[in-house]
Structures are given as C-alpha cells and as structure tokens.
C-alpha cells in the first residue's frame, strides 16, 4: 500500500511502486485530466506538480510521490479559477484541448517563480509542452495575461 497526497486528499493505492504516477492517476484513481501523450517526457501532456515543481508524471515513479504533495490539473484551483485557467478561458486558447492541462500546469509553475516573464522566459519554460494544433501564440498570450492579472491581484 502506498500513501499518496493528491490535491490535498489522501489516497492509499496498491500498485507496483515502479508504476509511473501518470498511470496511477489515470487508471487507478480516475484522475484523467493528466494526459498521456508520449510516455517518455517529450510532450509535457502529463505535467503535474510534485512539491510545487512541474514534473512529467509519465516518467515519475509513483514511489517518488509517496509522502509528497502532488497537484494535478483537477486540484490546481478548487473552482478552476487559477489565474492561468482564467486566462486560458478568456483567450479561448484550446483547439482540441488535449495538451492544455499540461500546458496549464507548466505555466502555473512558471508564473509562481517568475511574476513577469518575458517572451523568452515563456518560450524557455514552455518548450517541453507540445501542442499539435498549434495554439502556441495563445498560450503565450494567456501566460502574459495571467501574469498581469496575478500582479494586479498581488498589488491590490
């Protein structure tokens, strides 16, 4: 039995400790917002937060998450109102939408660490997240928008 804390909730799972976190989330716990895209940390669709850091859950053994804090797209904000999620909706970023939870999870860490990212900062932080529909321009713009609203909220 492994004890996990995901989105502030405790879970006990009986799985092989080598199982990637991705498949525990999806198959065992039914948290399917975290996506499978490549399985080899190339596309970023499976990005989650492990103790606040963006990790690729497809190559992160579940044993690494034991006793740690995991946040998935479902738990990023209780009412799906994280500044990044709001910006994504405001600019209607998604096309097919499949990669977007990974994009959002990467962007959320970027904005926590860097309140005012330049385009170069955004490009560097988001280079690991592939969008096959090509929504990159809107992803960039949404990150800028989220940064602005986050700064405003912080100052206000």
Total interface residues for another protein by CB under 8 A: 59
How far apart (Å, rounded) are the C-alpha atoms in residues 84 and 12? 30
Nearest to 29 by CA among 45, 47, 15: 15
**Binder to another protein among 5, 130, 148, 149 (CB under 8 A)?**
130
Nearer to another protein, 53 or 92 (CB): 92
Nearer to another protein, 134 or 156 (CB): 134
9 touching another protein, by CB under 8 A: no
Minimum distance between the CB of residue 123 and another protein, rounded to whole angstroms? 4
Q: Which residues bind another protein (CB under 8 A)?
A: 15-16, 19-20, 23, 26-28, 30-40, 42-43, 45, 72-74, 76, 80, 85, 88-89, 92-101, 104, 119, 122-124, 126-127, 129-140
């Amino acid at each position: 039995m492994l004890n996990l804390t995901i989105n502030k909730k405790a879970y006990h799972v009986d799985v092989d400790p080598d199982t990637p976190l991705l498949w525990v989330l999806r198959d065992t716990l039914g948290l399917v917002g975290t996506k499978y895209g490549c399985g080899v940390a190339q596309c970023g669709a499976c990005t989650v937060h492990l103790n606040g850091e963006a990790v690729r859950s497809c190559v992160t053994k579940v044993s690494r998450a034991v006793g740690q804090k995991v946040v998935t797209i479902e738990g990023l904000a209780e009412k799906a109102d994280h500044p990044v999620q709001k910006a994504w909706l405001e600019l209607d970023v998604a096309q097919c939408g499949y990669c977007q939870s990974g994009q959002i999870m990467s962007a959320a860490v970027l904005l926590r660490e860097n309140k005012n990212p330049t385009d170069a900062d955004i490009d560097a932080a988001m280079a690991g997240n592939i969008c096959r529909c090509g929504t990159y321009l809107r992803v960039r713009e949404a990150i800028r928008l989220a940064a602005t609203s986050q700064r405003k909220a912080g100052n206000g």
